[in-house]
Structure 1
């Protein structure tokens, strides 16, 4: 990842697109990188006939709105352009020459899926080259930062890329990093009434070892980062969604597939996109 590569953000004329633009501008400032905003005119729009624009769309209004938003937040060095084609495909092609891709959770394409915009889901499933950040419409850039970055920890080799991204960002923003592991409750676990220590569940030793083994090396590389960790017995999506309420970013690993199918997106990442209260970074392992 080169500092000369831009932070790429998809805009679409929606409020969600402007929110994503704001997050991308802040990230570009942090990375001392250029910001490149792209509006893709879909050759086959999915909007219902009654909601389609009555006149030709050359993208000028969308770019003007984006420029006004960038001026409002004091970021005036971005480049903007209009492309034609499938939004997800175009953004993914351009992301090969970027250091991060940022999209809104919903937008004009949100009619395809009422809860999650089809473009953001397709991009998240397929982006294997660079970090992909999906910004929900609930993110408020004016709210005080929590200075807390949550990383989903599962002990896998693929999860190391997500930890690297989380630690780098925590170090750059003076944020606490919280490693969270969701515990799958096995039927073989005894009833809590027969635990040797009622305050310590039977899986605690294994999860403590996993979290220490996973986080200690990264903490040694980033000694200035304050690190916390916890294991919670619940579904990973519910655990991370709950953690997102008091986080600036949740970082999870994805699947390194390239086939054009939303099924290639890991179930945890896909579920979290629906429910997270803060931006989600999906880091694919190639």
Structure 2
């Protein structure tokens, strides 16, 4: 596959930014796409009172560090630039002309607002259907691939975008899919009279059925992709965070009606992105 549109990477002078840049370079190679790395100078950011005066930030040092990192990994098809403005806003505008937006999880700049900041910023990010990939500092670029992509499934129509993305990437990377649906009993089965047989778990039966309905069509389309199905009784974020320990990527998305939909809003999103041990791809759904 090839693309004229670039993979967009937000760099901010932090170690996280360089790790994300490395991930973005690999993603660009996979898609036959150029890489566009951007450092944004926030002109509105004020120095704290009493802080020593510093010269203007022209981004030279950050770009030099990025170039050295790209040379180290042997990647030469990249363009780098400095922009001025609000980091999250500039990145989101550039992302509209990109195939993916990649940022580090904990940077020294303002990119964290895209996923770890206010609800308003996260909702702004939802206006684009470009995949947003958040790379944690725990990801090791030198480690061998695990061949495992985890996708959170909530049964929503919008969530099919995340499943599609996971299967397309799995087929391109020869990885397997782990489809996960988590059920919280305190929400779905508050009354013990719902079930009488202690050896029967109707919530798991329903979860298995949901996974089958969601995944069967995609397994038929991608028969070469090995698929596992996990129905789990626990909070979705805890489940996905645990699964991330043995995965190359966790994929979430959509605006479904279950707890997975919260991954795109407040505290649940922050919880997963803080605790995931591998990169997380948030796949947005654009309404027709």
Classify the TM-score, shorter chain.
Answer: 0.7 to 0.9
- Give 1:265 deviation, angstroms: 2.5
Cα distance per residue 1:153-198 (max 9 Å; x no partner): 0110011000000000001111110000011202224699x6353x
Q: Trace 1:84-95 onto structure 2 (pairs within 5 A).
A: 84-95=84-95
| Distance in 2 between residues matched to 1:204 and 1:145, nearest whole Å | 31
| Distance in 1 between residues matched to 2:22 and 2:104, nearest whole Å | 10
- Provide runs of 4+ in structure 1 moved above 6 Å: 50-53
SS at match of 1:282: strand
- Give 1:208 deviation, angstroms: 1.2
- Give 1:284 deviation, angstroms: 0.9
Aligned equivalent of 1:9: 9
Aligned equivalent of 1:136: 136
Aligned equivalent of 1:275: 275
Evaluate the alpha carbon distance shift between residue 277 and residue 246 of structure 1 in structure 2; reply closer, same or farther with a 3 A threshold.
same
TM-score (norm 2): 0.87
Is 1:32 aligned with 2:35? no
Evaluate the alpha carbon distance shift between residue 170 and residue 46 of structure 1 in structure 2; reply closer, same or farther with a 3 A threshold.
farther
TM-score (norm 1): 0.87
One of 166, 173, 187 as aligned partner of 2:190: 187
Higher mean C-alpha deviation, range 81-90 or range 135-144: 135-144
| Distance in 2 between residues matched to 1:129 and 1:100, nearest whole Å | 9
Higher mean C-alpha deviation, range 215-224 or range 48-57: 48-57
- Give 1:143 deviation, angstroms: 1.2
SS at match of 2:40: strand
Cα distance per residue 1:212-260 (max 9 Å; x no partner): 000000111111000001111111110100100111000001459xxxx
| Distance in 2 between residues matched to 1:46 and 1:190, nearest whole Å | 59
Aligned equivalent of 1:253: 253
SS at match of 2:246: coil
Aligned equivalent of 2:112: 117
SS at match of 1:108: coil
Aligned equivalent of 2:162: 162
Aligned equivalent of 2:259: none
Cα distance per residue 1:46-91 (max 9 Å; x no partner): 6656778722211111101000000001101100000000000000
Evaluate the alpha carbon distance shift between residue 133 and residue 124 of structure 1 in structure 2; reply closer, same or farther with a 3 A threshold.
farther
| Distance in 1 between residues matched to 2:50 and 2:215, nearest whole Å | 53
**Count of residue pairs brought into register by the alignment:** 273
| Distance in 1 between residues matched to 2:230 and 2:13, nearest whole Å | 40
SS at match of 1:80: strand
Would the aligned equivalents of 1:182 and 1:234 in 2 still touch at CA under 8 Å? yes
Cα distance per residue 1:103-134 (max 9 Å; x no partner): 11111137xxxxx9334436754142200000
Would the aligned equivalents of 2:11 and 2:39 in 1 still touch at CA under 8 Å? yes
Cα RMSD for the two superposed structures: 2.6
Structure 2: state its 5+ residue gaps: 257-261
| Distance in 2 between residues matched to 1:175 and 1:33, nearest whole Å | 20
Evaluate the alpha carbon distance shift between residue 179 and residue 264 of structure 1 in structure 2; reply closer, same or farther with a 3 A threshold.
closer
| Distance in 2 between residues matched to 1:53 and 1:139, nearest whole Å | 35
Evaluate the alpha carbon distance shift between residue 190 and residue 246 of structure 1 in structure 2; reply closer, same or farther with a 3 A threshold.
farther
- Give 1:202 deviation, angstroms: 2.6
